[in-house]
Amino acid sequence: MMVESASETIRSAPAGQNGGVGSLSGQADGGSGSGTAGTAPAAGRDGSSRDTASGADSNGEMSSTELLQFQQQQALQVARQFLLQQASSLNSPGNNDSKQSASAVQVPVSVAMMPQQILTPQQMQQILSPPQLQALLQQQQALMLQQLQEYYKKQQEQLHLQILTQQQAGKQQPKEALGNKQLAFQQQLLQMQQLQQQHLLNLQRQGLVNLQPSQASGPLQALPQAVCPTDLPQLWKGEGAPGQPAEDSVRQEGLDLASTAATATSFASPPKVSPPLSHHPLPNGQPTVLTSRRDSSSHEETPSSHPLYGHGECKWPGCETLCEDLGQFIKHLNTEHALDDRSTAQCRVQMQVVQQLEIQLAKESERLQAMMAHLHMRPSEPKPFSQPVTVSADPFPDGLVHPPTSAAAPVTPLRPPGLGSASLHSGGPARRRSSDKFCSPISSELAQNHEFYKNADVRPPFTYASLIRQAILETPDRQLTLNEIYNWFTRMFAYFRRNTATWKNAVRHNLSLHKCFVRVENVKGAVWTVDEREYQKRRPPKMTGSPTLVKNMISGLSYGALNASYQAALAESSFPLLSSPGMLNPGSASSLLPLSQDDMGAPGEPLPSNGSSSPPRLSPPQYSHQVQVKEEPAEAEEDRRPGPPLGAPNPSTVGPPEDRDLEEDLPGEDMS
């Protein structure tokens, strides 16, 4: 049962995941995002069905292997979610990496099986440090592969013994008895077939195999040796009508079965591949075969639930014969799909497929390891924060240890040990927002994955506000026109080269909505600047109303006493000074807030001080330059405190009169 619950949780993760990636992804991810909410429950049922399936197995040996199978499934599920998260930053249609990142065994089985603390991949990442995660993944990967191999080997041996027994018995027993035995055997074959199918489907869900008819050119085809399951239907059908020998066609495929001949010679389950799968895919991409798995064990009770029988037709690959009921189907199965050369050949093909997939799985796992190492293990690299991407702004005068930079794999270094992972801020689905705030500093992330975002059609895991700010801060004068912001988006992110209407509108919306973005006019016309103070005010929203927390955050910052997440958040906020251990002045954060290095040094800046003449929503003093505000009378002094702390640009000038963000309740006292 715990497996089941874990399964449900894991399977429901996509909703969150989609929420995370999808939230930013919007239309781009709409496909998966829209479906996930609805599919989550179904997926949960799916998981339970598989659970019962194993339990219903009458074969004692099978039940143990079924358990193993379950573990594999669970691991694969977690892996899938995990990889989806990874893929949120890696995935793109044109990106080879994304296709190949879908390896399954990256996820710790043990973690996946955790009974109480059901972990999402993100949570796993948060709990484990990158090295730990890496090690765990490798370990589990090896374990899983080993388990898979052992499992199939076991199955094959078992079937081998049975068929030998049956063949011997068949010589002596009357035909009727033989028929019964054969039926039972066939059902056992089907069970194994189901198990193998499970594996295959898991791989499919990983993205290793794509059964979508429209995507016939799935990743597997890229494999030199892999047998693409999408080709299997043709392969089956290519054999001609049922009953026609398949050996030839199999041989023509050039499949070398020698490696498996020892165990696969005459048995192995008949593959049940693409045809049934493509016919009845579930919303979540899982073929109905998955759900029918439970049926496979109970099809005696429920007539229409034979794994090879669905929707009134035989689902034997390439068959699709209509059968009114299960009885007729069984009859059909025994006559048309009896144990013969053809079925054997089909089994061989399927085994070959599985083998290839396993090989590919290992390969892809290795690739993923490398990718993860690249994305997560960067700390080893000297990370000068004079990042190429970051022109002048937002350098992290580091002293801070920047968290791993994978947007898709936010890491929350510190976490209360006993805390349920799910209860943490970013414990749930990797909402971009979360990663944005608590994990990866955007500039760091961008610097490290600049090329990736540039080329991969992956939505960046940052809020629009963060991106806009980053765009602005990257410019020498820290101001951009709207069009320049657009250009920055498209230049920096392949993702934003499409859906322009959506994200441009969002950009405009964000510019208008957040008062941290100040519109000013200069010679170029209207430009947008960032009011760091305002921006920072909205940064730690979680701490709103908890001045103590804010204080702690600030004071602990860079002293290692505080959650590194906050450090990351602050770093991301480009508080150079705050981020700098040496410069940090606990308790006087506000003094640091508005200024960036360059700004502080800019003498000529006509800080639109003190509101009197200060433009309304303008004035991030630090960025104001010679610009003059174009709109709104300087009416509001707001409720600012009189004394701008520490050289801080006059905060009073910052606020727009109308308060787009309503952050006035911000713990100003603490900040000043």
> Which residue do the tokens 């059609």 mark?
457
What is the b/e burial string over 478-509, where b = at least 16 CB atoms within 10 angstroms of the residue's CB?
bbbebebbbebbbebbbbbeebeeebbebbee
Cα distances (Å, whole numbers) of residue 444 to 31, 469, 533, 630, 654: 30, 14, 20, 34, 27
- Residue nearer to DNA on the CB measure, 151 or 486: 486
Q: Where are the beta strands (DSSP E) in 481-522?
A: 517-522
- Residue nearer to DNA on the CB measure, 477 or 663: 663
Whether 216 contacts 197, CB under 8 Å = no
Q: Give, rounded to a whole angstrom, the gap between the first and last alpha carbons of the chain.
A: 54
- Residue nearer to DNA on the CB measure, 106 or 426: 426
CB of 419 to DNA, least distance (A): 11
- Residue nearer to DNA on the CB measure, 119 or 339: 119
Name the site residues for DNA (rule: CB under 7 A). Answer: 15-16, 18-20, 23-27, 36-37, 424-429, 431-434, 462-465, 481-483, 486, 501-506, 508-513, 519, 526, 528, 538, 541-542, 544, 617, 631, 658, 660, 662-663
- Residue nearer to DNA on the CB measure, 57 or 436: 436
> Which residue do the tokens 């906020």 mark?
573
Say how many CA atoms lie within 13 Å of 81 toward its Cβ: 37
| Residue-by-residue DSSP string for 340-360 | SHHHHHHHHHHHHHHHHHHHH
CB of 84 to DNA, least distance (A): 13
Whether 538 contacts 647, CB under 8 Å = no
CB of 485 to DNA, least distance (A): 8
Cα–Cα distance for residue pair 129/413, rounded to 1 Å = 7
Whether 345 contacts 60, CB under 8 Å = no
Quote the DSSP letter at residue 185: H
Cα–Cα distance for residue pair 77/190, rounded to 1 Å = 23
- Residue nearer to DNA on the CB measure, 54 or 126: 126
CB of 368 to DNA, least distance (A): 23
CB of 541 to DNA, least distance (A): 4
Whether 65 contacts 535, CB under 8 Å = no
Return the structure tokens found at 380.
């080893």
- Residue nearer to DNA on the CB measure, 351 or 569: 569
- Residue nearer to DNA on the CB measure, 213 or 420: 420
CB atoms within 10 A of CB 238: 17
CB of 555 to DNA, least distance (A): 21
- Residue nearer to DNA on the CB measure, 56 or 482: 482
- Residue nearer to DNA on the CB measure, 356 or 434: 434
Cα distances (Å, whole numbers) of residue 25 to 87, 99, 262, 482: 12, 18, 49, 21
CB of 501 to DNA, least distance (A): 7
- Residue nearer to DNA on the CB measure, 15 or 577: 15
Whether 22 contacts 29, CB under 8 Å = yes
Cα–Cα distance for residue pair 452/89, rounded to 1 Å = 8
Q: What are phi and psi of 393, to 5 degrees?
A: -85, 160
Cα–Cα distance for residue pair 222/201, rounded to 1 Å = 18
Cα–Cα distance for residue pair 387/445, rounded to 1 Å = 10
Task: Classify residue 58 by burial, with Cβ atoms within 10 Å: 0-12, 13-18, 19+.
Answer: exposed
Amino acid making up residue 45: R
CB of 5 to DNA, least distance (A): 18
Amino acid making up residue 505: N
> Which residue do the tokens 């702690």 mark?
552
Those residues whose C-beta lies under 8 Å from the C-beta of residue 661, and which sit 6 or more positions away, are 513, 514, 515, 516, 534, 537, 538
Tell me, rounded to whole angstroms, the distance of Cα 389 from its chain centroid: 26
Say how many CA atoms lie within 13 Å of 17 toward its Cβ: 31
Those residues whose C-beta lies under 8 Å from the C-beta of residue 548, and which sit 6 or more positions away, are none
CB of 46 to DNA, least distance (A): 19
Q: What angle do CA 232, 238, 244 make, to 5 degrees?
A: 115
CB of 282 to DNA, least distance (A): 19
- Residue nearer to DNA on the CB measure, 433 or 640: 433
- Residue nearer to DNA on the CB measure, 332 or 432: 432
Cα distances (Å, whole numbers) of residue 512 to 7, 465, 528: 43, 10, 10
CB of 668 to DNA, least distance (A): 15
CB of 425 to DNA, least distance (A): 3
- Residue nearer to DNA on the CB measure, 37 or 338: 37
- Residue nearer to DNA on the CB measure, 282 or 549: 549
- Residue nearer to DNA on the CB measure, 318 or 429: 429
